[in-house]
Every structure is written in structure tokens, then in C-alpha cells.
Amino acid sequence: MNITFTGYKNAMASTITTIMPDTNKKFVTHAISCKLTNDHYGQDLTNYVKALEKSEGKRHPYDAGYINIITQYGDEFNSPKIYLNGEELEVNDKNLGIFSFCAKFLKNVMPKIKNQLTEGYFKSDDFNKHIFIGPNLKEVLPQKEYNNIAPNLVKDEIIQNQAKTIFDNIQTVMEDYFA
């Protein structure tokens, strides 16, 4: 499987640290989301769909061409939890192919590359649907805070750093599985 990631677009990433008020325990969430494409360099979208179909993973609920990978770790976790398109992805033999795809995908995001945003995407409702599956950022955050946070979600450096962190978390989970 060759993952080129040259024709990707609308990539975004974030980190959220949560402290539970009742227990004072902390957990950290890292997220990355991107639209996969097929182009003359490779069939990234097709390879993703094939790996997904062989796994227990689910397609992105808003757009089947998107991939959304989230990892969480913290005080109550023995090892990171991995979520694909909003659903926890268990580490088992059936899911090894999709874990492999995700690792290769993330490894290709880590080098310096230029994020390509579809014109008007940043101000569209789709922008809010793709980074977090569930709450719409515009509805959750005050407008001023949204205007400060949203542009950072699509910065190349943030996307690359999150890709590395999520890759490292997946690697940790896989090492635990094979230990």
C-alpha cells in the first residue's frame, strides 16, 4: 500500500486538555482530520476505504472521504485510546489493517507539507463538522474565542505536530498489543 498524501486537502488538528472537576484527573485529546483523495500519485482514498471495510471501523458520519483520528490519554488510562471517525477502535487482529493505514497516513503528514483548503471551507459548516464529530464549534464557543481558535486548527505546524503525537500514541498501543 502506497500512501502518497499529496492531494490531501482541508486538514486540521487540535489538542484539548480536560481536567475533570469532580476528580481533578486530567486527560489529553489529540485530533486530526483530513479529506483523502485519489490522484496520479496514488489511491489514498481507495486504500483507506478498503482498509476500513476489512476492519470494525466506521466511515466518517458527515463525509465518507474524510478520516478523523483521535487519541486520548490521561490519569485513568493504562494506554492511549484510539478513535476513528468518532468511534473507539479496539486493537485486535481484524483492525490491524486500518491501524497500519492510519500510521502510514500520519507518517506522511509529519514532514513539512502545505495544507490546501478548499475555497470558502474555513467559513463553511463543514469545517466545524470535520474536526470534532458531535458538537459544532460555532455553537459551543463564544464568537470571539472561536475566531481566535479556528485559524490555528489549519496551521501546517500544528497539523504536523498533532500527526506525530497521534502516530506515537498509535505506536504505543500497537507495541502493547504485540508485547
pLDDT at position 169 over 80: yes
User: Measured between alpha carbons, how far is 132 from 146 in angstroms, rounded to an integer?
Assistant: 14
pLDDT at 5: 45
Task: Give percent above pLDDT 70 in the chain.
Answer: 88
12-34: pLDDT as tens digits: 788 888 888 888 888 899 999 88
| CA–CA distance, 79 with 169 (Å, rounded to integer) | 8
Reported as a single tens digit per residue, the pLDDT across 90-144 is 999 999 999 999 998 888 776 766 677 777 776 777 777 776 777 777 777 778 8
The structure's pTM equals 0.86
Q: What is the mean pLDDT of residues 153-160?
A: 84
- Can you give the C-alpha Rg of the chain in angstroms? 16
pLDDT score for 4? 41
What is the separation of C-alpha 133 from the centre of its chain, rounded to a whole number of angstroms?
Answer: 11
